[in-house]
């Protein structure tokens, strides 16, 4: 069968985006949840931080960002009074959550956002009349997910993805034992980091050295699809404890067929938001906070900085030593996505809508089949770490990336020709 070509597509560039500089955060060697909690603590009674990176229990997740914004607002509400002017820097989920809560309690809120849109790393795009997410997409930890509760309240439909049961394929055919290989690696990591944290790459290498060659091949496949894609960090710098200790996918995750972008859009309704207003400097003192950029300056009694941590690290702002130390222990992973819409589905079908794919070269290892929820054949291909750096290199055009992604889909379909 000759594979049809995609009729619509989109390519992410999160690592090259100056307002994100990567996908989601992860702990570096020696980092712990206490570092995230330190960043969530107020800088002063005038200035607080917000975002997924500063949520100690739900990092790297959209609902963690949302809850972080509510927490940040609570700090300023406790320190101030109604009628105060508050500036929120960043119109992602965290900033919008903070702004709505502050506005609800009588503060005069101005949101300044560097991009020409709201949502931050939530970005729903149009694939020829079909909406799909080029950034954050899943409502993870669904049963206790605060954004999922909002979606239910708004009457939005959701679709489940079973991340615990991927269809595991490779260029040489189906792969068996990958989930078990990850379980064994996690157990080994627990032992190997019993007295001190270690780089994730060292732990993987130490465990692999105990295996025979076939088992090492399965482990390498499982690591690319199930570990690198969870982290996106340089394995030489990533915390082994953090990688296996912080929460991830696989807890009833669901997604919105209309796109997660409906959430920031609704949160932004009625707020005073200035788009295309990048902030380069923040000054705070006992009387207030001044944020400034190429557009000018804005003075307020208090402020929330709801910026990705990779962006915050280079912002001209005076942070306490404890905050700076904590910030240095948290990295931002590299992960990229390609969305492909086809005229028909020709690839193997996974009952849970989730596939892993492996080759002997950099490839998109994680695949989400969105066809059932969208009613149109759409695949989301994800790559992370070194593979994302290679596949989404700045020298490659979007068209070149799409052509290579389509070739990978064709190879994957051929690896199980009877359809799964």
What's the pLDDT at 420? Answer: 45
Distances (CA, A) of 305 to 20, 95, 113, 200, 280: 14, 8, 11, 30, 12
One CATH from 3.30.390.30, 3.40.50.300, 3.90.660.10, 3.40.190.150 for 8-13+164-248+333-415: 3.90.660.10
Distances (CA, A) of 224 to 220, 260, 417: 6, 26, 24
Instruction: Tell me the pairing of strands 281-284 and 316-317.
Output: parallel
Cα 372 to chain centroid distance, Å, stands at 23
What's the pLDDT at 251? Answer: 80
The full set of domain ranges for the chain reads: 8-13+164-248+333-415, 25-129+259-331
State how far the Cα of 268 lies from the Cα of 97, in Å rounded to an integer: 9
Q: What is the mean pLDDT of the chain?
A: 96
What's the pLDDT at 290? Answer: 98
**310-356: per-residue pLDDT in tens?**
999 999 999 999 999 999 999 999 999 999 999 999 998 998 999 99
What is the residue-wise DSSP string for 397-419? -HHHHHHHHHHHHHHHHHHSTT-
Q: In terms of residues, how long is the chain?
A: 420
Instruction: Tell me the pairing of strands 254-255 and 159-160.
Output: antiparallel
Is the domain spanning 25-129+259-331 CATH 2.40.10.10? The answer is no
The partner residues of 160 in beta bridges, in order of sequence, read 254
What's the pLDDT at 418? Answer: 59
Spatial neighbors of 207 by CB under 8 A, at least 6 apart, are 184, 185, 188, 189, 192, 219
Provide block-wise average pLDDT over 10 residues at a time, the chain (420 residues).
Answer: 90 98 97 97 98 96 98 97 98 98 98 98 97 97 95 96 94 94 97 98 98 98 95 97 86 94 98 98 97 98 98 97 98 98 94 94 97 97 97 97 97 73
What's the pLDDT at 419? Answer: 47
Q: Taking a C-beta distance cutoff of 8 angstroms, is the pair 246, 123 a contact?
A: no
Instruction: Tell me the pairing of strands 85-89 and 302-305.
Output: parallel
Q: Taking a C-beta distance cutoff of 8 angstroms, is the pair 39, 54 a contact?
A: yes
Spatial neighbors of 10 by CB under 8 A, at least 6 apart, are 125, 127, 132, 134, 338, 339
**pTM, two decimal places:** 0.96
The partner residues of 378 in beta bridges, in order of sequence, read 341
Give the containing element (helix H, strand E) for 27: strand 25-27
Helix (H, G, I), strand (E, B) or coil at 286: coil
**Which sign does the torsion angle of CA 5, 124, 161, 173 carry?**
positive
């Amino acid at each position: 069968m000759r594979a049809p070509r995609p009729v619509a597509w989109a390519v992410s560039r999160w690592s090259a985006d100056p307002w994100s500089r990567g996908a989601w955060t992860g702990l570096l060697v020696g980092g712990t949840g206490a570092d995230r909690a330190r960043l969530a603590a107020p800088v002063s009674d005038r200035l607080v931080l917000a975002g997924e990176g500063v949520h100690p229990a739900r990092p790297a997740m959209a609902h963690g960002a949302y809850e972080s914004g509510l927490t940040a607002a609570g700090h300023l509400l406790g320190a101030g009074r109604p009628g105060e002017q508050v500036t929120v820097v960043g119109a992602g989920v965290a900033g919008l959550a903070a702004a709505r809560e502050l506005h609800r309690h009588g503060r005069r809120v101005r949101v300044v956002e560097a991009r020409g849109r709201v949502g931050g790393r939530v970005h729903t795009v149009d694939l020829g009349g079909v909406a799909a997410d080029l950034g954050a997409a899943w409502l993870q930890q669904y049963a206790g997910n605060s954004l999922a509760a909002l979606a239910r309240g708004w009457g939005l439909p959701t679709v489940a993805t079973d991340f615990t049961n991927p269809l595991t394929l490779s260029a040489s055919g189906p792969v068996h034992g990958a989930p078990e290989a990850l379980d064994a690696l996690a157990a080994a990591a627990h032992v190997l980091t019993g007295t001190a944290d270690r780089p994730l790459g060292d732990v993987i290498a130490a465990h692999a050295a105990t295996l025979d060659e076939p088992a090492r091949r399965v482990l390498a496949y499982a690591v690319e699809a199930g570990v690198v894609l969870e982290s996106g960090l340089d394995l030489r710098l990533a915390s082994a404890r953090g990688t296996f200790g912080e929460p991830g996918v696989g807890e009833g995750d669901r997604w919105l067929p209309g796109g997660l972008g409906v959430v920031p859009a609704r949160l932004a309704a009625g707020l005073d938001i200035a788009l295309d207003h990048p902030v380069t400097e923040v000054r705070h003192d006992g009387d207030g906070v001044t944020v400034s950029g190429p557009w000018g300056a804005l003075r307020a009694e208090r402020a929330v900085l709801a910026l990705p941590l990779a962006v915050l690290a280079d912002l001209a702002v005076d942070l306490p030593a404890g905050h700076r130390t904590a910030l240095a222990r948290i990295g931002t992973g590299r992960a990229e996505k390609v969305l492909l819409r086809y005229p028909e589905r020709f690839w193997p079908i996974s009952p849970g809508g989730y596939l892993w794919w492996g080759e002997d070269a950099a490839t998109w290892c994680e695949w989400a089949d969105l066809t059932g929820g969208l009613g149109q054949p759409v695949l989301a291909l994800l790559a992370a770490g070194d593979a994302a750096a290679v596949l989404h290199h700045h020298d490659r055009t979007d068209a070149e990336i799409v052509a290579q992604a389509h070739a990978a889909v064709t190879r994957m379909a051929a690896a199980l020709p009877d359809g799964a």
